[in-house]
A and B are shown apart, each in its own frame.
Chain A
Amino acid sequence: MKFTLDNIDGHLVGIAELEGRLDASNSKPLQKIMPEWLEKTPFLVFDCSRLDFIDSSGLGAIVGCLRKAIDNKGDLRLSELNGKVAMVFELTKATRLFSIFTNRGEAVASFAAGADPGSAK
């Protein structure tokens, strides 16, 4: 998982690129590394453009990350969910928990001061 930091309007936004599958067998590394990322910034974007598959365990891990981000007075936003991953989010109503953007740039920009996260697609 590649993690980079971006500065947008004074907000430090962490961008994590999720790849391949996120399921019961490989969701633990994400939960493990999350505190490290949160030490750097509580404002996070998960770029899911290269995420091919997610199951309920993977979804649980992402929801756990969201909870931790909110506990740190930040937020976790998602970008570029492919069709299959988006279907799992819609099926489980997880789309209501996250702000989801069509591309990473929009997701990062949404953290700019005054930006309305409600404009998420």
Chain B
Amino acid sequence: MKTILALREAECAWVRDAFPCVHPLLLPICNKPFIEFLIDFAILVGSPAVRILGDGELDAVERYCENGSRWGIDISYANMQTGDSVETMLGKNRRFCDKERVMMVSGFSFVRYDKRRDYKSLAGSMPEGEWVAGPGGSITLFGAPEKPEAQAADAPLSLMALDGMASYYRASMEALETGADRYVLPGYGGEPGCAIGRNVVMSKSVEIRKPVSIGNNVQLLGDAIIGPSAIIGSNVIIDRESTVESSIVFDNTYIGEQLEVIGRIASGNRLSDPVSGVAVTMEDPHLLSGIRKSEALGALPRKIVHALGALILIVLLAVPFLVVSTLLRLGGGWRSATGDYLSGKSGETISLGKVEPDAANALDTIASTLSLDRYPWLFRVLTAELALIGSTPLPAETQHPNAPANALAYRPGVFSYAEAEQWPATGGDAAIVERYHLVHSGPISDIGLVVKAFVNRPHEKTTP
């Protein structure tokens, strides 16, 4: 049996209005794109091939699903006309159907199924015709039953039309509450009702109240309360003492300090009430805002300020560096080892020499106090390979959770924000501090933090 998934733009126009950055088929339901629930169901029914039909653009869906090898099936794509009837759609995709039985899922509806049940036998024994229908769509079988004589046990199957914010919210909460029992949901979960993605950094005082689903690269800061019934997307920051309950927080959203998000959908700087449909676009970035990694980290003024700062330090420290490093080298106290570190650009590395003075004599103390071990790195700021202040450079040979591919924000720096704030250079809290400043700090505050790091580093070394 093959599966055709047919979606018309008119059926999901509200998604385009409410969440302009998300393709309707990729609308997350409990942190899983809507299309994946349909693909999972097609797999449960025993489809080796799925064709996705749409009367709008499918580029984003194609980029996400690719050829379906991730699920072990073939996924192909085709366009249809808005007014195409079912017969026309089947006719246009005759080659794909290839005389096999076809299941057509049409409309923008959430399919309620139970992954533990045998839909393959059930679909194989069902007569041709409509299997299930609802106000927002239907599932129809075409072609003769594959095993008409088979006695298949009944299995729950129904459709919930996703016709607006309210039904979308209901479907998401239902998926969260029924959880991994009925659907395959993303995230790791040691216990029912709690699914947490990769690289989630939580302060110790964060309180999690089940059920919750938390995406990847999420930062939950001190005294935040998450749940019950909270769906937190990926690349989200929930700031200190904020509560997120019975709510959906979309990817790349920042929730400010001491806020209460209850029964809401937060998407970037837009907060919506799923029941009334009222939505407000926040103009205060400290309350609610979208997180844009590239703009925050790659801003030209920031790079210029960093380069100027590095230039000043290069000039000021040139003489001490030449004198102290030469004397230490002669005495064998200047040990340098070159290693590869993760660059700010995904998949790239940079080579950095790391110096470790012994701190056993006066020269070593001067070298440490003036951060002369980092002096050669300052030149890398001029070539924009390093920031003057940023993340602690991560070794390239290990799969770090903070690697650029995973992390919300990573940009290696000569000095790190963790050093400026006197956090231990390793550990989750340091990662929170670094990412917070990468996203929220500006060129001027960066200079202040460089000074703090410069002053704090020798102190850090002398602290046991």
Contact = CB atoms under 8 A, between A and B. Distances in A.
Nearest to A57: B284
A53 B261 CA distance: 18
Given A83-B276, A84-B280, A91 B261 contact: yes
A32 B278 CA distance: 32
A91 B259 contact: yes
Interface residues of A, number: 12
Contacts of A56: 284, 286-287
A55 B271 CA distance: 13
A83 B279 CA distance: 8
- The binding surface of chain A is classed by DSSP as helix
- The binding surface of chain B is classed by DSSP as loop
Contacts of B286: 56
A84 B278 contact: yes
A55 B284 contact: yes
Interface of B: 258-262, 264, 271, 273, 276, 278-280, 282-284, 286-288
A91 B258 contact: no
Given A23-B283, A56-B284, A84-B280, A91 B273 contact: no
B41 to A, nearest CB: 36
Contacts of B260: 90-93
A38 to B, nearest CB: 28
A93 B284 contact: no
A87 B278 contact: yes
B273 A93 contact: no
Which 3 A-B residue pairs are closest in the complex by CB-CB distance? A83-B278, A84-B280, A56-B284
Interface of A: 23, 53, 55-56, 83-84, 87-88, 90-93
A91 B278 contact: no
A87 B273 contact: yes
B278 A93 contact: no
Contacts of A91: 259-261, 264, 271, 287-288
9 contacts: A83-B278, A83-B280, A84-B279, A88-B287, A90-B260, A91-B271, A91-B288, A93-B259, A93-B260
B258 A93 contact: yes
Contacts of B287: 56, 88, 91-92
Given A23-B283, A56-B286, A92-B287, A83 B273 contact: yes
